[in-house]
Amino acid sequence: MAELFTEDGVRQRPEERRLVKNRDALRTYFGSRPADRPSRRVMSHILVTVVTEDTARAAPWSRPDRRSR
């Protein structure tokens, strides 16, 4: 999973304050899950915002599931 990020990539979940910076830290973060606890990450509709010529931010776009009301 960490290989999907650039060397200086950053990850922060909206509901968490923890900020994980750089690919080595991301590798540790993603590798910290117990081996017997599988997980999947499926993302679609990625919203990419170009910040500067060499910087962009990406986040999954979502809307509330109307069925859950």
Give me the DSSP letters along 35-55: TTS-------SEEEEEEETTE
pTM value? Answer: 0.56
Residue 32 lies in a domain: yes
Q: Is residue 69 part of a domain?
A: no
Between CA 43 and CA 46 the distance in angstroms is 7
Residue 29 lies in a domain: yes
Q: Which domain holds residue 22?
A: 2-64
Q: What is the per-residue pLDDT across 17-34, written as a single tens digit (0 to 9) for each?
A: 888 999 999 999 888 888
Burial bucket for residue 30 (CB in 10 Å: 0-12, 13-18, 19+) = middle
Structure confidence by residue, pLDDT tens digits, 37-54? 877 766 678 889 999 998
For the chain, how many structural domains are there in total? 1
User: Could you give the 3-state DSSP secondary structure of residue 20?
Assistant: strand
